[in-house]
Structure 1
């Protein structure tokens, strides 16, 4: 039997028709099963959680059949209460599937602590950008009798002397004591 005779035979055409029917039925069943298992067309709306406490956020997410995933944050935001949600992903109003993880970024209890650099015997012109680059702010500048003019003699925080290596919260106001160029 030649290939052309085999392709045009009744047996081959019958098998080909059965194969197409089987593929169509399997495709139909697979699509129905996928629609059922993935809840096709059924969505939950992500609630607005920014500024809310962890407990309130968890309750709201459970009410909407969503799962909370907490991510730590090192960036303190003074606009939000401590340990409240400052960011969420996906954002509020977005449509997501049931049991989807909603990633929450929490506000820490305060600014992170930063090590004070050693600025003794550096000029104010050198010390100021170093402190500002670390996130500190410059407070009161005072002068005392010291041979080096505009040279850092010591640093103070809230009226107390601080040393190199001390840890202070970011955005702390550091007072600087400079030399006036006169002998003590």
Structure 2
């Protein structure tokens, strides 16, 4: 029997029909199984977790059969309570299936600590610029000491305490400058 005759025979067409029917049955069974095993058409609305503590988040998500994972913390935001949720993924109002994870970003408990730069001998303007760029706030009360240089930095203070270079303070701390008065020898 030649190839052309085999392609025209009844047995070839039967085999093709069986293969097509088998493939269709397999696709329908697979579609049904996937619908059942993946909870198709089930959806839970994600609650708004912003400004909630982790204990409150855990309780709220357990009620609706969801889970969470803390993925990050960002710079301290004073508008949010300490260690509360700042961001969440998926966002509030979105839909997920049961036992899915909600990824959370938390507010740290305080500003991060930053090292004090060595500003001794710098001008007032240079010191203010560098301190602001580092993330500190400059106090309005300047202390002047007897020194030959006018408005030259001779020290830094935080709440009356003298600061040394490389000391660490929280970001946004208010630092007062100790400056020369220009009347010294």
Q: Please give the TM-score of this superposition, normalised by the length of structure 2.
A: 0.95
1:21-51 CA-partner distances (Å, limit 9, x unpaired)? 0000000001111111111111111100001
2:178 is equivalent to residue 142 of structure 1: no
Partner of 2:41: 41
Q: Where in structure 2 are there 5+ consecutive unaligned residues?
A: none
Q: Please give the TM-score of this superposition, normalised by the length of structure 1.
A: 0.96
Q: Where in structure 1 are there 5+ consecutive unaligned residues?
A: none
SS in structure 2 at match of 1:150: strand
Partner of 1:181: 182
2:127 is equivalent to residue 127 of structure 1: yes
Segments of 4+ moved more than 4 angstroms: none
1:92-119 CA-partner distances (Å, limit 9, x unpaired)? 0001122111111111111111110110
Separation in structure 2 between the aligned mates of residue 117 and residue 74 of structure 1, nearest angstrom? 24
SS in structure 1 at match of 2:104: strand
Q: Where do residues 85-100 of structure 1 align in structure 2 (5 Å cutoff)?
A: 85-100=85-100
Q: Where do residues 1-184 of structure 1 align in structure 2 (5 Å cutoff)?
A: 1-139=1-139, 140-183=141-184
* Counterpart contact for 2:155–2:179, Cα < 8 Å: yes
* Counterpart contact for 2:149–2:181, Cα < 8 Å: yes
Query: Matched residue pairs, number?
Result: 184
* Counterpart contact for 1:74–1:112, Cα < 8 Å: no
Separation in structure 2 between the aligned mates of residue 64 and residue 136 of structure 1, nearest angstrom? 44
Q: CA deviation at 1:3?
A: 2.3
* Counterpart contact for 1:124–1:178, Cα < 8 Å: yes
Q: CA deviation at 1:64?
A: 1.7
Q: CA deviation at 1:74?
A: 4.3
Separation in structure 2 between the aligned mates of residue 41 and residue 74 of structure 1, nearest angstrom? 35
Separation in structure 1 between the aligned mates of residue 74 and residue 32 of structure 2, nearest angstrom? 46
1:58-77 CA-partner distances (Å, limit 9, x unpaired)? 11111121111013414111
Single out whichever of 140-149 and 31-40 deviates more from structure 2. 140-149
Q: CA deviation at 1:4?
A: 2.2
Change over 3 Å in CA distance of 1:155–1:128 after alignment to 2: same
SS in structure 2 at match of 1:151: strand
Q: CA-atom RMSD, angstroms? A: 1.2
Separation in structure 2 between the aligned mates of residue 157 and residue 74 of structure 1, nearest angstrom? 25
